[in-house]
Amino acid sequence: MIRNLDDIQLTKKVSEGDERALYQLYDKYSSAIYGVILRMCRDEDQAKDLLQETFVKIWKNIDGYDPKKGRFYTWAYRIARNTVLNSIRKQKNLIQTEELGVHTNTEAEENPKDFTVLEGSLAQLEPHHQRAITLVYYMGHTHHEAHKVMDVPLGTFKSYIRQALKQLKTIYGRELILVWSFFEMMI
């Protein structure tokens, strides 16, 4: 909650032209967004450029962010995702197919390089849930693309995502209780 309040104040300052507020948002969210971008484009040099481009877009379009509609991270994620997808579309050697959208090599997507190794709670999920979340959140697939990559019906894929999010919610809730208990003990 405090984080969200801070974010609202920071985004307000950014919209007033305060560069330092933008750098604060960068410090806070760049690693989370860079994790997404790097996993989507799988190229470090390109990922650096795209992260910079994402924050320039945030700077320019901050007035389009409405805190009532959701968190800053969600908004920033959408910008990063679109920036990466547009960049991939522009690549000359891309062979675009309707089935796979902007992605051409399913094998590469399923076997990312080291920097795309998934960490933390996501690793606790069942493999098909991990894969569903990875395809959508970290590879930029739409649901219509991703269910084909996984070769399951669209409805099944959607339920994978829903179940995965439910599990994550349970995991984060449990972790929150543990952290809370720890603080209680400290007091």
User: CB under 8 Å, gap of 24 or more: what pairs does 125-132 form?
Assistant: 125/164, 125/167, 125/168, 128/160, 129/160, 129/163, 129/164, 129/167, 130/164, 132/157, 132/160, 132/161, 132/164
**Residue 129, interface with other proteins (CB under 8 A)?**
no
Q: Which residue, 30 or 187, is less far from other proteins as judged by CB?
A: 30
Q: Which stretch binds other proteins (CB under 8 A): 87-95, 104-112, 165-173, 177-185?
A: 165-173
Q: How far is the CB of 184 from other proteins (least distance, A)?
A: 21
Stretch that binds other proteins, among 86-94, 103-111, 134-142, 179-187 (CB under 8 A): 134-142
Query: How many residues bind other proteins, per CB under 8 A?
Result: 51
Nearer to other proteins, 2 or 187 (CB): 2
Smallest gap from residue 93 Cβ to other proteins (A)? 25
Site track for other proteins across 32-61, x = CB under 8 A: xxxxx-xx-------xx--xx--xx--x--
Give the C-alpha distances (Å, rounded to integers) separating 144 from 47, 48, 101.
Answer: 25, 28, 9
Residues with Cβ within 8 Å of residue 109, at least 6 apart in sequence: 103, 135, 139, 149
Contacts of 179 (CB under 8 A, 6+ apart): none
Q: Which single residue is written with the structure tokens 């379009």? A: 61
Binders of other proteins among residues 109 to 128 (CB under 8 A) are 115, 118-122
Angle at 15 between CA 10 and CA 21, to 5 degrees: 35
Tell me the two tokens of residue 135: 């395809």
Closest contact distance (angstroms) between CB of 186 and other proteins is 22
Q: Which structure tokens are listed for 79?
A: 């910008």
State yes or no: residue 92 binds other proteins (CB under 8 A).
no
What residues make contact with other proteins under the rule CB under 8 A? 17, 19, 22-23, 26-27, 30-36, 38-39, 47-48, 51-52, 55-56, 59, 69-71, 73-74, 77-78, 81-82, 115, 118-122, 133, 136-138, 142-143, 158-159, 161-162, 165, 168-169, 172
